[in-house]
Amino acid sequence: MDLFDLMSQGREDKALDRLETMLAGYESGDEAEPGLALERAMNFCDLEWGSYAAGLEALAQRIESRSKDPVEAAMRALRLREEGDEPGAIIRAIRLDRRRAQGRLDEREQVVAHYGGEAAALAPTDWELIFISATAHLAEPGEDACVDAQAPLAGWHLPWHDLPEALSEAVSRAHPLPQTVAAARDECQRWDQRLRHLEILYGTSAGDGVLPTACAARRKLVEDLWRRGIAARTLADFSARLDYWAGRGGDDGTGYGLLQADLAAVSADWGRGAPKESTKERARRLKAENPDWSLARIGKALGISRQAVHKHLKGAAPA
């Protein structure tokens, strides 16, 4: 390379350095500054390279030739070339990312408020502690399940692996298992909500959140009851089973056979003309099948007041 080429290269490098400085203005939080920076960059590129796109192309090529990280260089170069084709694209992308981040921040604040504070939101809930405590004896030697709630239990921690019998029994004994398809769906959705809250709190993507190992085991067990482990006995059960296969069951045809069997069982009860339950009997059955349900929730299901539910449950054997 002769002296003239060296001088030309040095001049272009200075011009590209100046262009990069102008592009940095696109990230300004000031409402007007990004637009002014874009105008300055376009005028500068017109003078130095003949067009905005040509200037960005020159900068993209320098990044590709000098970067030690080819993947990052390719991404930066792609953004510059897209900007050359559609001026203002980088500014719009930055503003969109900020709006999304603000929306997620607002969502996180709502989750923290739901638990009454950040420390309470991040700590295991009382519901989770039931299962964490009941399975602590299954922790690996040297591990403390109450300290590291995500540690393996009985060698299990991958959700797609079958549950060891000891872990399945422990989470089953810790709290009564749902007795109906509808109750299994409700508990599984309760775990799903907690999982979503953890994803928001820790800033992970959907599907990347992690429940404590004991809770993940309980959720897996209950989801299987929702999917197929309990026979549907009522129309509400059938509807709950349909919720599973319509929303998350896959398309291998397995669900059709289960739904057909459920529908046949529910229809058979209709055909036999089973005696109609009294409101008191229905209230007591719902409480027995769903021990976690409040009086208000049972009343809503039956269309009666909370006080009426309390009256119907008086004298009932404890669940």
Query: 152 phi and psi, to 5 degrees?
Result: -60, 150
* Model confidence pLDDT, tens digit, residues 155-178: 998 888 999 999 999 999 999 999
Q: Of residues 22 and 247, which shows the higher confidence score?
A: 22
How many whole angstroms separate alpha carbon 13 and alpha carbon 29? Answer: 28
Report the pLDDT averaged over residues 24-47: 91
pTM above 0.75, yes or no: no
* Model confidence pLDDT, tens digit, residues 109-137: 889 998 999 999 999 999 999 999 999 99
Number of helices followed by number of strands (H, E) in the chain: 15, 0
List Cα–Cα distances, 41 to 16, 46, 86, 168, in angstroms. Answer: 11, 9, 14, 63
> Domain-by-domain residue ranges, the chain?
3-107, 117-273, 275-319
Query: 292 phi and psi, to 5 degrees?
Result: -80, -10
